[in-house]
Copies of this chain bind each other. A is one copy, B any other.
Amino acid sequence: MNEPLSTQPYKGVRDFYPASMAVQQYIFDTWSETAQRFGYERYDASVLEPSALYKAKGAENSEMVNDQTYTFTDRGDREVTLRPEMTPTVARMIAGKARELAWPARWYSIPNLFRYERAQRGRLREHWQLNVDMFGASSLMSDVEIIQLAHQIFLDFGATPDMFEILINNRATMNHAYSALGISSADTVTEITRLNDRKDKISADEYLVALTNITKDESLAQEIKTMIESPDAGDNQVVATLRDLGITNVRIDRSLARGFDYYTGTIFEIKDTHPDNNRSLLGGGRYDNLTSLFGGEPISGIGFGFGDVTMRDFLETHDLLPDNVTHTAPVVAVLPVSTAEHLPAMQLAQQIRETGLSCSVDTTERKIGKKITTAANANVSYIITLGEDEVSSSTYTMKHLESGKDFSGTLSEIIASLSQS
């Protein structure tokens, strides 16, 4: 005999058993409903992408350097990557049908994304992410809409505005501010932006030292730090319009950087305000030049990504997961007393399904008491025990397990009384 195989999944990925999958499905369904209510259409693509998509100048991403992707060479000598993010894919698809699409294009997707991280601190190598993007609209109203949609997702999960906070910045405004301080090199701005992305994780002194290292000018570094930390919101129309729409948990944060180099305008982030989960939940921004990598006219885009793991953490932290989400058992279980009732039980179950109710049949050889216990443990709502008498009379008793309440009669009588109760 060979060694038994391991039942563990591949390192850093998750198995979704039914109870966990039900939470996943609840999250995906709620995401979809909110996006669709705003008029966004769902799209999808393969997890396999040509590696060139992530290597093009302008598509690089400081969060996801190439040695953090799953990349391999296929037998046709093509370099292929398991997508680490969805934005390059959606930009590719939008650019590919630019002449046919109606503008603006409002699109969403719920892809799985891969990141090769040395397995540590339980970080995952695969996660799912809601991606919402609008293409072909560059007015500030589209920035507002995207952020309003992100805000609405939280409300649709039952959150209240005190549970989260929207931080907003603007890459173009920041470039002007750097320029006003005499910094004209785009590379220097990129370096400062990447530093800002880590600002929360280092001390004020370390931040100043790092700024000085970048600028080689201690007093300039101090000026930058003062500008970044200035709470003055200035005249940000996105923030003002969000407030006009009744969204008040929003503020400017000039240190907000977001990892992706391709952002060009508004960038934003939503953070959990709970002290136990004080982290970024969702982030996005405007990228004006990504589709031009594919040739043709540039098409402006704005969007965000929201991961399943951070979503779950938020829902758990704020106790927002409905209790019954993990109850995935059928509504009715038909329990034949002996094998003689197996066929009638299968026939009865099929009639029940035809009324639209979900129904399973226990055709094991277990004793009836054990069948009832199994159904109860699985959170079945109603059981019908099927013995000789029930089969010969075609009248049944359906028991509601939680209340113990009975409904007796022909099947249609039971279904009728069920829909009235």
**A binding-site residues for B, Cβ under 8 Å:** 2, 4-11, 13-18, 21-22, 24-25, 36-39, 41-50, 52-53, 56-57, 70, 72, 74-76, 78, 80, 92-93, 95-97, 102-104, 106-107, 112, 114, 116, 118-119, 125-126, 137, 139, 141-142, 144-145, 148, 152, 241, 244-245, 293-296, 328-330, 333, 342-343, 346-347, 350, 353, 356-361, 363-365, 374, 377-378
Q: Which of B47, B107, B347, B353 contacts A47 (CB 8 A)?
A: B47
Contacts A/B (CB < 8 Å), 30 sampled: A2-B57, A4-B293, A4-B294, A5-B92, A6-B50, A9-B46, A10-B46, A13-B45, A15-B43, A17-B97, A18-B41, A37-B353, A37-B359, A38-B353, A39-B358, A39-B359, A41-B328, A42-B328, A72-B72, A102-B377, A103-B374, A106-B360, A141-B342, A141-B361, A142-B363, A145-B361, A241-B343, A244-B343, A244-B347, A245-B347
Q: How far is the CA of A11 from the CA of B116 in the complex (A)?
A: 23
**Separation of A102 and B374 alpha carbons in the complex (Å):** 7
- Cα of A418 to Cα of B356 in the assembled complex, Å: 27
8 Å CB contact of A80 from B6, B10, B103, B107: B10
Question: Known: A4-B294, A41-B328, A137-B364. Contact between A378 and B36, CB under 8 A?
Answer: no
Cα(A295)–Cα(B106), bound, Å: 50
Docked-complex contact B346 and A144, CB < 8 angstroms: yes
A103 touches B364 (CB 8 A): yes
Q: Given A142-B363, A358-B38, A364-B139, do A295 and B342 touch, yes or no (CB 8 Å)?
A: no
Task: Identify the 9 closest CB pairs spanning chains A and B, nearest first.
Answer: A39-B360, A4-B295, A7-B96, A39-B330, A13-B46, A141-B363, A18-B41, A16-B44, A72-B72
From B38, B72, B137, B244, contact of A359 by CB (8 A): B38
Contact of A5 among B17, B25, B52 (CB under 8 A): B52
Contact B45 A16 (CB under 8 A): yes
Are B48 and A10 neighbours in the complex by a CB distance under 8 Å?
A: yes
Contact of B46 with A126 in the complex, beta carbons under 8 Å: yes
Residues of B within 8 A of A103 (CB): 364, 374
Q: Which of B50, B75, B106, B126 contacts A10 (CB 8 A)?
A: B50
Complex CA gap A103/B4 in Å reads 23
Residues on the B chain within 8 Å of A76, using CB: 11, 118-119
Given A5-B92, A46-B14, A148-B346, CB of A363 within 8 Å of CB of B75: no
Beta-carbon contact of A363 and B139 below 8 Å = yes
The docked-state distance in angstroms from the alpha carbon of A361 to that of B137 is 12
CB neighbours (8 Å) of A80 from chain B are: 10
CB of A346 within 8 A of CB of B141, answer yes
A290 CB, min distance to chain B CBs, angstroms: 10
Residue A18 contacts which of B11, B13, B43, B46 (CB distance < 8 angstroms)?
Answer: B43
Contact of A38 among B24, B152, B360 (CB under 8 A): B360
Contacts of A18 in B (CB 8 A): 41-43, 107
Q: Compute how far the CA of A95 lies from the CA of B7 in the bound complex, rounded to whole angstroms.
A: 7
User: Closest residue to A50 on the B side, CB-wise?
Assistant: B10
Q: By CB atoms of chain B within 10 A, which of A53, A104, A350 has the most?
A: A350
Q: Which residues of B contact A107 (CB under 8 A)?
A: 18
Bound form: Cα–Cα A357–B33 in Å: 10
Contacting residues, chain B, for A8 (C-beta < 8 A): 96
How close is A373's CB to chain B, nearest CB, in angstroms? 10
Contact of A11 among B43, B78, B346 (CB under 8 A): B78
Beyond A116-B74, A142-B363, A361-B145, is A43–B14 a contact (Cβ under 8 Å)?
A: no
**A104: nearest chain-B partner, CB-CB:** B364
